[in-house]
Structure 1
Amino acid sequence: MISVASYNIRKSVGTDWRRDPKRILDILREIDADIVALQEVDRRFGSRTTSLSPDLIEDTTDYAAIRFGVRKQSLGWHGNTILVRRGIEVLNQSTLTLPALEPRGAVLADLKVGELKVRVIGLHLGLVDLWRRRQAKSVLNQLDVLDEALPTVMMGDLNQWTTEGGCLAHFAKDHNIIAPGPSFHSSRPVLAFDRIITTTDIEVHDCGVHRSDLAKRGSDHLPIWAKISVRPEGRPERQAAQMTPEAVEGLQ
């Protein structure tokens, strides 16, 4: 079993408008996932300096940060990065450029977890429906041309207001879309902006939204998580996952 999580940390600025990277790391320790996709890890303007120091991450948690930043002071690619628990091997990493009116991108890491190889993509799609659709198609097209196909988990802030249609329609053609539950706004979550998307050879055993008191203050998004495994070859592709009631409702 592998645990994954996704969290838009809003540059480590909480609902109290304090920038507190240590609080973000405390929340990640609460979730205790093996692999974490982060969005908005870097400041948006100026030097684009990361709000989470890689040294602080490694000194105070069990994670190592995969550096995707082009700038020395940045950690992410358009704010996206991936953290992996120590002991997980990073086999390959790359960045994906997405079409947009505003800068958008995604990050990809091929990981070895025990004896399993898994591909993880962290992404943050745009605010405009037309561009979200184009970005979804771009991600899928870039995956299709890769030399090796792997069990894949895509997760992040999709900015999709509806529970179906839009960019989700593109992902749903050949993937399973998991909505762990409402994650935005953290003070009163009503929108399932944050999603987990998997290839059909991955089984989702459980998923949810992390709603601790600390998480409600850490960002305007709540973190989402899932427990997954890779299906043995020949097993039915779309087997129902054991999900929380909120997750099931989100898929309807």
Structure 2
Amino acid sequence: MTDATGTKPAPGPDQPPIPVRLVTFNTHHGVGDDGRHDLPRLAKVLAAADADLVCLQEVDRYFGDRSEDVDQALLLSRALDMQLAWGPAIDEPRRDDRERRQYGNALLSRLPILVSDVHPLPGSGEPRSALRTMVELDGGTLWVTTTHLSTRADQERAAQAALLAELHTEPMAAGVLVGDFNTAPDAPELGSLRERFTDAWELARDRDDQARWRFWRQDEGHTHPARRPHRRIDHVWVSSGVAVAGAHVLDSAGASDHLPVVVDLEVPSGV
């Protein structure tokens, strides 16, 4: 809405926040805990989450036989009727002019994607990257960074976390950082993240998880391994001003070796 001069008025202090539902999920390239590659099963789990933003790790694009050599990112975006941003960590040519062999992070979005870029992360072993996007809200914007940190050493994760913290600067305003961090949120190597972000699980006014085999502990956010989760390595971090109405670990229906985390964000208007 604009005034008579065509200028959009500044947001008032009493404008309600913008609700955004986000899910993050390490998909294990669509291979479930039964060893089967089943992309329709994965799509069904994601559809049931009914999220505005779907942040995925360990996604294959023409990677080979383990995922039937398909473009998982594109097929999932079509199945869910969502926009796609893609951030490879592995990107290799193949023979015979076939599509490149890729593996990495994906963002599926009901919201318009305005900006998308990919940032390699430091470290040895398996290449890691961060997919940074900006999406348009009804009255604002939100930066979303999806990543997957190293399993190798605390020092590597510390260097990766420091780069991730630098990707979100003060002028960017509202932002979230999500993914598989391969360590707990209070791990020392994530100290640089805690200087700029807050753990959404701790902020959430309502929370629940799938660890019901330990009926006395149902709010710890454990996501791995999927069958008997006892590690909280899949996180959502939010910048200052972003509130969290709820955070829940969902049933993955056997679609991965991780469980998905869904958070209901409240993003300030006009940022």
TM beyond 0.5: yes
Identify unmatched segments of 5+ residues in structure 1. Answer: 234-252
Q: Residues 206-245 of structure 1: matches in 2 within 5 Å?
A: 206-211=246-251, 215-231=252-268
How many pairs does the alignment contain? 223
**Residue number among 243, 248, 252 corresponding to 1:203 in the alignment:** 243
If you compute each CA radius of gyration, which structure gives the higher value, 1 or 2?
2
> Structure 1 residues 166 and 75, CA, compared in 2 at 3 Å: closer, same or farther?
farther
How far apart, CA to CA, are the structure 1 residues paired with 2:76 and 2:28? 17
Q: Distance in 2 between matches of 1:32 and 1:184?
A: 22
Q: TM-score, length-normalised on structure 1?
A: 0.80
- Name 1:173's counterpart in structure 2: 195
State the distance in 2 between where 1:43 and 1:52 align: 6
Q: Is 1:187–1:216's contact at 8 Å kept on the other side of the alignment?
A: no
Q: Distance in 2 between matches of 1:121 and 1:74?
A: 23
- The 1:203/1:50 distance shift into structure 2, 3 A limit, reads farther
Return closer, same or farther for 1:63/1:206 CA change in 2, 3 Å cut-off: same
Q: Which residue of 2 aligns with 1:79?
A: 104
Alignment CA distance shift 1:174-1:149 (3 Å): same
Which digits, 9 at most, give the CA deviation of each residue in 1:5-27, with x for residues without a partner? 10000000001100011111000
Residue of 29, 34, 45 corresponding to 2:52? 34
For structure 2, which runs of at least 5 residues remain unmatched after alignment? 1-18, 93-97, 202-219
Find the counterpart in structure 2 of residue 118 from structure 1: 142
Could you report, residue by residue, the CA deviation over 1:76-107 in whole angstroms, capped at 9, with x for unpaired residues? Answer: 7x51110102xx11111000111011211010
TM-score by length of 2: 0.75
1:67 to 86, 104, 107: 86
Distance 2:137 2:70 in 1: 27
Give the 3-state SS of the residue equivalent to 2:130 in structure 1: strand
Identity of aligned residues (%): 25
Match of 2:157 in 1: 132
| C-alpha distance after superposition, 1:111-130 (max 9, x if no partner) | 10222200000000001211
Shift of 1:163: 4.4
CA deviation map 1:218-250 (0-9, x unaligned): 0000000100112368xxxxxxxxxxxxxxxxx
Query: What is the CA–CA distance in structure 2 between the aligned matches of 1:171 and 1:68, rounded to whole Å?
Result: 21
